[in-house]
A and B are shown apart, each in its own frame.
Chain A
Amino acid sequence: MHEITISYEDILKPYVKDALARLGYIFPELDLVSSGSGIRVRSSNPFDELALKKEIRYALYRSKIRAEGAQNRAALYSSVFGK
């Protein structure tokens, strides 16, 4: 069994759940769980740690950006389609 834990900054913590939901189907061969201040990755096959670390960070970034854009999107739709 291959295993690593990828840490992230506290600022990204609220977005771990969303990111894991998406990463779960992008990397179905990996077992991904939130563990303290990191994401624990397990797999029966070896994986590229550097690439995976990047993908996980990008997924966290994307979830954060998506969530934080909600207010702006709501304002945009309201502006375009009427209040």
Chain B
Amino acid sequence: MKIWPLQFRSIDSSHMVFTDDTGKFFKASTKFLERYATENLSVDDTIFLQQNGHAFLNFDDFQFVGFASRWINRVSPVGDLKYVILVPTLRCDLKCDYCQVSRVAKKARGFDWSEATLRQVISFLSNLSPTEVKIEFQGGEPLLRLDILKTIRSFCRQRFKQAEFVVCTNLQEVSDEAWEFLSADDTQISTSFDGTNHHHQKRRTISDTQQESFEENLGLALARFGSEKVSALPTIDPLDPPEPSELISNYASKGFRTIFLRKVNFQGFARKKYSFEGADRHWEAFYRQFIEELITYNMTADKPVEEFYLSHILRRIVRSGHHNHVDLRNPNWLGKDYVVIDHDGKLYPTDEARMISRVGQIDLSVGDLENGLDAETLHSLNSEASNFDDPDCVHCVYKPYCGPDVVDDLSRYGRIDLPRHETDHCQRHMFLFDLAFELIFSENLAVQKSLANWLDISEFNQRLAPVLS
């Protein structure tokens, strides 16, 4: 019998989680590790490993083929470019304390697409090969250039068999014409709501008038379109977070079933204003408390709520094939299946890359509308797109579920070759994966009820969390 390599990590003083490269996992005692590493497996060990797909007899038997099939489904394929983030203007009618996306004043000049840029964007889109496209309008505040949004949407509806649109708006000033635009079935609304009105006003709207305007418009959007069409994300300052229970209650009462907690981003203009000293520790404490509150809430809620990123991680652990979220996949191809077109026509592999470039730290543009994508730069970035050969990741128990973030490493350290465990990306995800496995192996019924909801299954069966006893 041949055993597929198993990675391991302690989860308490006497137990470890083990995974193979396909992401199949189990919990066992530290004594099993000794037996495994020193080639003294018991008969029971052997039977367990065979039954759980961690071993095979021959290179062409069904266990081998099954493993190969599971492994390939863990690999994020290179997809066609069909997700385009457009930034028709950098102007914004808010001046948020921690602007995530770089912005300029509403009356500033020279930060909108010119007529020529608009033509080039349309030309760029017309050359895409897929028959479907998803366009995300970012900013600045994209509704300040509703004329451009209309032009792009009309073009895409004609050019593609299927076109979807997302307008990322602060919902601060929404004209009748904008409401009409947003009401289309193929158009989604994405906004920010920092969990409580107090936190939202403190960081974003500042004045009572602007806060009232936002609350009124968010209420209108939800009343007219419902939470299927409107999503909201809270940005959290780890040093001044809202009460988790209040955040959950506020989101749930608006009909939101998904909350994507975002820590104030190190990129963009946030880095100029915020002290990040000790923020990670505060964030982890807040996040853990939030998940505990969420589990408590879900125990009695008619409509359970999820934290998006934890659900995504849980799905990646339990199932393969979840490659659509670009923050976590492996390989994490850059400039392949999605791209950002900035207000000046430059192309970026991610929105974060745009922010870093904007603050002048490093130019991570991967081309422009004039000359197209820069193949050489993309090749260079993508040479480190996977964790397959990373000297640290190859030993990591969470490798099958994780993925690199080259842009994040560059933004923080100016290099990508640090020992992985020293990077923010690794530390953040180790915390999240540890938490996920703590939940997966929990025997608490409230935890299992939430897990079932987050994994979209009828009930969380303990067979999903095998234990070698």
Contacts and interface: CB of A to CB of B under 8 A. Distances in A.
Interface of A: 9, 11-12, 22, 25-26, 58, 60-62, 64-66, 68-69, 72-73, 75-76, 79-80
B274 interface: no
Contacts of B5: 65-66, 68-69, 72-73
Contact of B421 (A26, A60, A64, A68): A26
Interface string B4-21: 111110000000000001
Interface stretch (B67-75, B162-170, B225-233): B67-75
Contact of B6 (A9, A65, A79, A80): A65
B6 to A, nearest CB: 7
Majority SS of interface residues in chain B?
Answer: mixed
Nearest to B9: A58
Interface of B: 2, 4-8, 21, 33, 37-39, 59, 64-65, 67-68, 71-72, 391-392, 394-395, 419, 421
Contact of A62 (B4, B39, B67, B395): B395
A69 B39 contact: no
Contacts of B2: 72
B391 A72 contact: no
A49 B395 CA distance: 23
B72 A80 contact: yes
Contacts of A65: 5-7, 37
A11 B38 CA distance: 7
A79 B419 CA distance: 31
11 contacts: A11-B38, A12-B37, A62-B395, A64-B37, A65-B5, A65-B6, A65-B7, A76-B67, A79-B64, A79-B65, A80-B71
A22 B391 contact: yes
A58 B36 CA distance: 12
Given A26-B419, A66-B5, A68-B5, A79 B59 contact: yes
A66 B395 contact: yes
